[in-house]
């Protein structure tokens, strides 16, 4: 009987996560496409935190490449692709200078594309992990699960936001 309570709690948490996932994706999309006030201190903080995140991510990708052969290489490709998408995002961003402030609005289609890419990779990764775990016969199910591809998509998102934040910071320095 005491074992049923933690099991029921764990199942409830998994169910709640699955149910709230569509809502969190919609909220993430809305936040990503909102009109934003350009503030130097916010963009500088964002840029520094993203640079630290990228450095930590690449360190972890290098460690992961011990068990998953292509993890670091795929992460570098994802980071490069994300940087290029960030530059495209800067070119497609709507910039507004008013007498009181400076505003910018990210491109909706690009934010939607990145959000859907992450969603698709999460779903595909869960499917691959399930099948690799079930079918692994002594081999590393982690390498067979497509971890390198998932890391590439994560690096794509980091690269996009790093390049985009750097571009917004540069634009604010130039205008404000």
DSSP letter assigned to residue 66: T
pTM: 0.81
Tell me the average pLDDT across 106-114: 91
Q: What is the mean pLDDT of residues 33-47?
A: 91
The torsion angles phi and psi of 116, rounded to 5 degrees, stand at: -70, -35
| Complete DSSP assignment for 118-147 | HHHHHHHHHHHHHHHHHH-SSS-HHHHTTH
Q: What local confidence, expressed as pLDDT, does residue 19 receive?
A: 83
**What Cα–Cα distance (Å) separates residue 123 from each residue in 126, 146, 173, 174, 175?**
5, 12, 40, 41, 42
Domain residue ranges of the chain, discontinuous segments joined by +: 37-175
pLDDT computed for residue 129 by the predictor: 73
pLDDT, averaged across the chain: 86
């Amino acid at each position: 009987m005491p074992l049923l309570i933690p099991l029921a709690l764990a199942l409830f948490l998994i169910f709640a996560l699955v149910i709230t996932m569509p809502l969190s994706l919609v909220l993430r999309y809305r936040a990503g496409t909102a009109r934003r006030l350009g503030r130097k201190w916010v963009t500088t903080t964002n840029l520094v935190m993203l640079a630290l995140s990228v450095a930590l991510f690449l360190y972890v990708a290098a460690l992961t490449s011990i068990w998953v052969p292509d993890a670091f290489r795929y992460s570098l490709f994802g980071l490069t692709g994300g940087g290029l998408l960030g530059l495209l995002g800067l070119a497609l961003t709507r910039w507004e200078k008013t007498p009181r402030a400076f505003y910018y609005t990210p491109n909706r289609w690009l934010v939607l594309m990145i959000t859907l890419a992450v969603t698709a990779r999460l779903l595909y990764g869960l499917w691959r992990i399930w099948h690799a775990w079930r079918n692994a016969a002594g081999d590393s199910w982690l390498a067979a699960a497509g971890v390198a591809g998932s890391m590439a998509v994560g690096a794509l998102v980091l690269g996009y936001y790093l390049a985009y934040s750097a571009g917004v910071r540069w634009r604010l320095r130039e205008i404000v």
